[in-house]
Structures are given as C-alpha cells and as structure tokens.
Amino acid sequence: MAEINRAVKGTNDILPEQSGSWQFVERKMLETAELFGFKEIRVPVFEHTEVFQRSVGDTTDVVQKEMYTFDDKGGRSITLRPELTAGVIRSAIENGIVNGALPAKVCYIGGCYRYEKPQAGRLREFHQFGVECMGAADPAADAEVISLAGQVLENIGIENISLEINSIGCPECRKEYHKALKEYFASRKTELCDTCNDRLERNPMRILDCKSPVCSEIAAKAPVVIDYLCDDCKSHFEKVKAHLDAAGIKYKVNPHIVRGLDYYTRTVFEFVSGDIGAQSTVCGGGRYDGLISQMGGPQVPSLGFAMGIERLMLVLKSQGTQLPLKSGCDIYIASMGEKAAFEATRICAELRKSGFSAQTDICGRGLKAQMKYANKQNAKFSAVLGDNEIDSGIIRLKNMETGTEQEIKLADIADQLGKAINEIALAELTETVFNQ
C-alpha cells in the first residue's frame, strides 16, 4: 500500500508553485518558434512499435534497451514515444503535410518515456520541446533551425551555453567511414562490451554512442566521420558554417558528435551547458534527409531538434535565474456574514468575466483566516465585504504589498481594480528602467 502514495521511479510531479515557471518557458518556446514560421502540432503519446524501430533504429540504445513496449488488447505492439520526431513524421505522411506547401514547419511540446537509470536531468518520463522542418535541403535551413534553437535558449534566459556542430555525411560517404570504424574497433574487439560487439557488424557508428566507460575511451580515439565526407557533404557543411557566420552565431566543430538516433544525416549539432555537470547537452538535433521516405512517404529532406525541458529547468536553477511569474490572485474578496458571502460570489463572478483572477471564501472561515489565506495566495489586492459595504455600495480596496487603501464604488470595482493593477505594473516598469 505504501507505493500508492509515491510517484513511479523516474517520474516527477510538477507542483502548482513550479507550474508557473514551466508555463513561462513553454510560452517562450512556442512564441519564438512562431517568429520563424513554426506552428504547433500535437501527436499521440503512443504509436505502433514499428514507427520507432524503423526511424530511431533497431541498433540504438533507445530501441534495444529503453522503450516502454506492450501488446494492447487487440494484440498490437504499442510503444510509448521515446522521442517525438518519429510520431510527427508519421503524422505528416498520414495527413499529407509533406505533400503540401514546403517547407512545412512544425513545433511541439510533449512527454516522452525511456526506461533508463534516473539521474539529474535524465528521467523515465521527461518533456521535450522541438521542431521539424520538412522540405528544405539547402544549408540555409540548417542554419535557420540552429538559429531558432539558440534564440529559444536565449529567450528563456539560458546562459553559459555553447554550440557544437558536425557533419556525419550521407549514406554513400558513410560506407567508407564504416569500413574504417570496423577495422579500428575489430582490433579492440575483446575490450568492447557485448552490445558493442553486436553493433560492430550491424552499425559500428553506434559504438561511438556507448555509455560504457571502457567503450567510450576506445571510441575517443576512433576515426572521425568528418575525414570521410564526400564532396557534396563537405560543400554542404561549409555552406552551413558560412550561414552561421553570416547570422553571427558562434560555434565549434566537434568531430565526435554523432547523436544517438540512426536517422541523422549530414549536419548534427548540440547546445551544451557548462552549469549542470555530466548531462550537459540541453538541445540536440540535425538533418535526416532519408527519414520520411524510410517511413513510407515521399523523398523529402528534413531536419529538426529537441530540447529537454527538465534539463533546461536544472540549468535555470543552477544559474539562479528568477523567472517572471503570474500573480496567483488579482483580488481576494473577504466576506462577513451570509448575505456578504452571496454578494462576494456575485462580485467574483463579475470580475472573472472581466478577465481578473478573483477569489473569495469557500470554506466558511472567519475574517482573520480569510486574510491569512489571501496572503498565501499572493493576492495583489483584497477587500472586506460586510453589510455596511453592501448598504453603502462602497468598499475599501487594499494593496496587499504596501497596505495602502482606497475607497471605490462596488458598481465600478472592475474598472477601479484594472486601474490599480495598471498602476502597479507601471511602477514596476519604471523601477526596472531606473535601476538599469
């Protein structure tokens, strides 16, 4: 019975006092994406298992070890999404998005599920923001998507971040690279883990992504893919860098970036934080020109990225960033007596229809307890309503921060409350500008 009051291992609750920060971050993400022409898409939290096997790759850790897969009551193999790109591409094919005006630009926010060892910044249920740009082969598209990722991070207040880029080539130039990797890793075969020995024949690039300390040390000295690029891929990568230079975006070429999923081609990139230790990658993405055709759609070049929201929250916390939060309550109407309670209910209903956050007592408390609760709700204003106020039509509006009061007509409460809130906002803005 003890388990019924505990969250499942690797999952976290987002509590009311935290949700305001999440809403701010998510709102900034979607607003920034819209500046670049990306519109939100929402896809199911689970898909047919083959969607991920065909896209993510059956030699990846995600597919081999981490997916939550089960048979439903109809005997179909279903998987909770370990990432969102595959589901978005499935939707784009099914709903004809890739057959319409291109490039098609979509963005998303959603939960993902992977069975792995929980640690800071790595959970079994986690949330991602990401984008997919379908139908753009030009290097300018790579730079635009990277620019969008960087601007999202900047707009939510992430500091001490660096961009690392690489090219992992196309299937043709990777053939030579695979040969070089097989030759190198075969000479160290007895030192590799069992999983990597299996990957050696099927997909040696996956060894580069192994989390085993021994395999990671061996992989660090392996040949790098950038030395095996064909002329077209070299040209593409040089133009990506030129577009980033034109946009004033600083970057470092890291030849060891390969990303953890099989669908990537050519450009791959990561934004890395210096503030959260081992799980330092806060955003990763790249190009996947063959994925849509691989999943049964037309040959449409595409690219995108994803960033983990929990990991971004860790960065913001480590930086001491204070996110702007909405006030919990514009006004709390305290009531004395039954007649006043009914009137407070009416006034709150009126204020809410006018767009204000208004609360009143719903527990039958005394005045002192009501005001204590108003404080806990961070109410901007409060007002006490009794028989005298109802008879006179006058109520005293109290600023909960300064303690100042003003008399206002009950009939004008919405207008007067709006003016009072605007005065607070103007004072805060003036103070901010003065302090700068």
pLDDT in tens, 291-342: 999 999 999 999 999 999 999 999 999 999 888 766 679 999 999 999 999 9
> pLDDT tens across 7-17, in order?
999 999 999 88
Question: Distance between CA 148 and CA 305 in Å, rounded?
Answer: 10
- pLDDT number for residue 261: 66
Question: Distance between CA 285 and CA 269 in Å, rounded?
Answer: 6
> pLDDT tens across 24-41, in order?
999 999 999 999 999 999
Q: Coil, strand, or helix at residue 256?
A: coil
Q: How do beta strands 394-399 and 405-409 pair?
A: antiparallel
- pLDDT number for residue 433: 41
Q: Write down how long the chain is.
A: 436
| Range in 73-77, 259-263, 328-332 with the lowest mean pLDDT | 259-263
| Range in 42-46, 154-158, 180-184 with the lowest mean pLDDT | 180-184
> Same topology for domains 7-170+230-319 and 329-425, yes or no?
no
Asked whether residue 22 carries a pLDDT value surpassing 80, the answer given is yes
DSSP state of 122: B
The arithmetic mean of pLDDT across residues 112-129, rounded, is 89
The arithmetic mean of pLDDT across residues 42-68, rounded, is 85
Asked whether residue 1 carries a pLDDT value surpassing 60, the answer given is no
Higher-confidence residue of 346 and 118: namely 346
Question: Distance between CA 169 and CA 231 in Å, rounded?
Answer: 10
Quote the mean pLDDT of the chain. 90
The class level of CATH for 329-425 reads: alpha beta
Asked whether residue 435 carries a pLDDT value surpassing 60, the answer given is no
DSSP 270-321: EEEESSSTT--EEEEEEE-TTHHHHTTS----EEEEEEEHHHHHHHHHHHT-
- pLDDT number for residue 113: 95
The CA dihedral of 111, 112, 118, 122, to the nearest 10 degrees, is -80
Instruction: Give the H/E segment covering residue 262.
Output: none
Give the domain ranges of the chain: 7-170+230-319, 174-221, 329-425
Q: Which of 159, 71, 151, 129 is nearest to 310 (CA)?
A: 129
Higher-confidence residue of 423 and 231: namely 231
Percent of the chain whose pLDDT exceeds 70: 94
Question: Distance between CA 411 and CA 430 in Å, rounded?
Answer: 31
Q: Coil, strand, or helix at residue 391?
A: helix
Query: From residue 366, how far is each of 83, 273, 389 by CA, in Å?
Result: 51, 51, 17
- pLDDT number for residue 434: 44
Q: Coil, strand, or helix at residue 37?
A: coil
7-170+230-319 has which fold? BirA Bifunctional Protein; domain 2 (3.30.930)
| Stated pTM of the model | 0.87
The arithmetic mean of pLDDT across residues 185-201, rounded, is 87
Q: Report CA torsion sign: 247, 34, 313, 134.
A: negative
State which of 188-202, 326-340, 364-378 shows the largest mean pLDDT. 364-378
Asked whether residue 424 carries a pLDDT value surpassing 80, the answer given is no
Q: Degrees (nearest 5) of the Cα angle 83, 50, 43?
A: 45
